[in-house]
Amino acid sequence: MRRPWKHPTPATAAGHGAADICLREVGLLLPRRFARRAAASEDLVMRLQVHRKLNRHTGCVNTVGFNADGDTLISGSDDQMVMLWDWDTGAIKLQFHSGHSNNVFQARFMPYTNDQTIVTCAADGEVRLAKIGDGGDVPTTLLGDHDGRAHKLAIEPGSPYIFYSCGEDGLVQHFDLRTNTATKLFQCRNSFSKSGHSSNIHLNAITIDPRNPNLLAVGGSNCYARVYDIRKYKWDGSSDYPSDCYCPPHLIGNRFVGITGLAFSHQSELLISYNNENIYLFPKNGGLGPDPKSSVKIEANKGSKSTIVSSGEDVDRPAPQMYSGHRNCETVKGVTFIGPNHEYVASGSDCGRLFIWRKKDGKFLRAMEGDECVVNCIEPHPHTMTIASSGIDNDVKIWTPTATERAPVVNIEELKPRKRRTKLWHFSLPEELIFHVLASRRRRQAAGDDDSSEDLEDSTGLLDLVLRAAERDVLSDEDEETSEDSGDCSLN
């Protein structure tokens, strides 16, 4: 009698591709499941290599992304151009000026528009719409703007009309292409001080949960990634009430870290990348609550769990999975999942490499040379183990698993720092920033702020950061004159 069919175990799937083929041939593994498991194979990750370089931009490429079918890649650059590529052949299908007056930070296809509708945001703070006409003309329309740079867009899954933007003014805006209107959804602010003063959080990242499009996560110049339930909002932009906040226990309340990248997995896990820190993966509903500063206190961090006291009760929460080894200090880098079921985590690094980790246990797998200076963007193909990456260089690199041999296990010697081609940060006049910090403190005191000790502490900390950055810049100049090693990558 034929045994009842059941799925092979994940361990078998991960390690024995030939066994999967046999199971498929005898009908014990469904073809669709076989295809997804094959596409997630770690062997493919270890065989990734540069398939093609797309080199037509004349400035840094700040955004790349595939269309839903996976046959077209879109890119945007400091040259203010948007290009559509046949990434497999390297041919340009279409190129047009974005209409922006500064660096294009993101460009995305709207779903179910036959790739004819594109939305962009840029360093000029504008959010624009581009409609590709039948004759190849691409008129662009201004939809809304931010007071400061607009870094990222979030497209509502499955919607050809709805998307969101975030910017350095802390504003999150809702856009509906049926009316071409922008609605100020909310202003993201730091917690209020005793004096009632608050400051905007400079937002760098925004993403939507694919399992629940009502949940929107944002992050920026603050240690907390904030998740908002759009259904609970008054659409007047008057308030900022997150439904949940996420932060690793050891970073809670840290004023000197910020978030550069966010991503939701298919399982509603939240991936957060911090500047000058590591990447962390939080399980679904693994946040600290809407107001972690007042209601949540971390008592201990023992092993894989943290003991959290909330409203007088002890709550054990699993510690987030950490991914380390890259360096994220000099630019606003994204973070992403790769694999059909998001089996891997990927990020760029200041050393010009792409880093890939196994999601479930944080094991480091690959560090691939992707840029002369810094890799900022990594975007996965929607169906296959193919990756597009970009950074400070003027090209886009396409990675496919076509290497005849598996990549060797990386050791620390292979990740030696390298001489950088350009300096990305340079504090030439730190005195100006010092002046503005002190002037701001004097204005608060003149306004009757009785919490001057807290302001002094904040100002002193910021001044210390500025001086240390200026000192590091000088030392970096000296190192480049005497050595070829001025990068900062490490493998932990």
Q: What is the pLDDT of residue 55?
A: 96
Joined together, the tokens standing for residue 116 give: 């004819």
Instruction: Tell me how far CA of residue 415 lies from CA of 270, 326, 353, 364, 488, in angstroms.
Output: 28, 10, 9, 13, 9
pLDDT for the residue 12: 40
Calculate mean pLDDT across residues 137-151.
95
For residue 420, pLDDT over 60 is answered with no
pLDDT recorded at residue 313: 47
Which CATH architecture fits 42-415? 7 Propeller (2.130)
- 459 vs 201, which has greater pLDDT? 201
* pLDDT at site 194: 42
Cβ-proximal residues to 45 (8 Å cutoff; 6+ apart), any chain: 338, 344, 356, 365, 366, 385, 401
pLDDT at 176 over 60: yes
**60-69, 180-189, 260-269: the lowest-pLDDT one:** 180-189
Pairing verdict, β 296-302 and 279-282: unpaired
* Residue 152 contacts residue 206 (beta carbons within 8 Å): yes
Q: Average the pLDDT over 329-343 and give the result.
A: 94
Tell me what the mean pLDDT of segment 260-288 comes to.
Answer: 96
Percent of the chain with pLDDT over 70: 68
Cβ-based neighbours of 296, under 8 Å, separated by 6 or more: 252, 288, 289, 308, 309, 310
Q: Which of 28-32, 157-161, 434-438 has the lowest mean pLDDT?
A: 434-438
Q: Does residue 121 have a pLDDT over 80?
A: yes
pLDDT: which is higher, 478 or 32 = 32
The encoded tokens of residue 335 equal 């973070």
Reported confidence tier of residue 312, pLDDT bands at 50, 70, 90: very low
Spatial separation of the C-alpha atoms in residues 217 and 215, rounded to whole Å: 7
Q: What is the rounded distance in angstroms from the CA atom of residue 123 to the CA atom of residue 459?
A: 27
Residue 14: band (very low, low, confident or very high) from pLDDT cuts 50, 70, 90: very low
pLDDT at residue 309, rounded to an integer: 46
pLDDT score of 172 more than 80: yes
C-alpha distances in Å from residue 155, one per residue of 111, 161, 235, 380, 442: 8, 9, 18, 16, 43
- By mean pLDDT, which of 5-9, 65-69, 94-98, 164-168 is the weakest? 5-9
- Angle, to 10 degrees, between the axis of helix 17-25 and the axis of helix 31-39? 170
Of 45-49, 330-334, 467-471, the poorest mean pLDDT is in 467-471
pLDDT tier at 462, thresholds 50, 70, 90: low
Helix, strand, coil shares of the chain, percent, nearest 5, are 20, 35, 45
CA distance linking residue 365 with residue 383, whole number of Å: 21
**Average pLDDT, integer, range 106-114:** 97
Q: Take residue 324 and report the two structure tokens written for it.
A: 């380390």
Q: What is the pLDDT of residue 22?
A: 74
- CA atoms of 157 and 235, how far apart (whole Å): 21
Once rounded to an integer, what is the mean pLDDT over residues 279-303? 73
Q: pLDDT: is 187 or 240 the higher one?
A: 187
What is the pLDDT at residue 189? Answer: 87
The DSSP element (H or E) to which 357 belongs, if any, is strand 353-358
Per-residue pLDDT for 150 more than 80?
yes
What is the per-residue pLDDT for 234?
66
Query: What is the C-alpha to C-alpha distance for residues 304 and 361, in angstroms, rounded to an integer?
Result: 12
* pLDDT for the residue numbered 430: 46
The pLDDT mean for the chain works out to: 81
Instruction: Say what the pLDDT of residue 450 is.
Output: 46
pLDDT of 239: 59
Q: DSSP letter at 114?
A: T
The lowest-confidence range among 30-44, 362-376, 396-410 is 30-44
- State the first-to-last Cα distance of the chain, in angstroms, to the nearest integer: 53
pLDDT above 90: residue 35: no
Closest CA to 243 of 253, 255, 230, 254: 230
Q: What is the pLDDT of residue 418?
A: 58
Of 242-251, 357-366, 456-465, give the lowest mean pLDDT range: 456-465
